[in-house]
Amino acid sequence: MLWCATVHCFPQRQVRQTAGQFGAGAAQSGKPNPGVTAIGSGNNINNFGISGQAGIGIPVYNGGNNKPSVGVGATIGGSFGVSNGQSFGSKPNYGVGVGVSFPFGRK
């Protein structure tokens, strides 16, 4: 019973990146930066929830070592669940962003 109270009473932490973060990661590394996140919880077929996100960052301009770099990113995500037998789901969430890396103070 304590397990149920701890799992269902507190909000779950979800680690997700925004499209801008994917772009910034690609700008810094100079390589494509893909990522997938999925999370789910529940206690039976009538009470559960799942959500997920996929994204990628692509470097647009990489100035090289100690130079400014630019990347773009895109994400898509959504969720689905059932609560007391009633289903719910979100429409897909889309995101686009730009990430810029400025190396200050490096030589």
Q: What are the extents of the domains in the chain?
A: 19-32+48-107
More confident call, 98 vs 4: 98
For 41-98, the pLDDT digits (tens) are 999 989 999 999 999 999 998 887 778 889 999 999 999 999 998 999 999 999 999 9
- Bigger pLDDT: 53 vs 16: 53
Residue 4: predicted pLDDT: 36
Three-state DSSP state, 4: helix
When pLDDT is cut at 50, 70 and 90, the band that residue 7 belongs to is very low
Tell me the C-alpha to C-alpha distance, in Å, between residue 29 and each of 15, 54, 104: 21, 19, 16
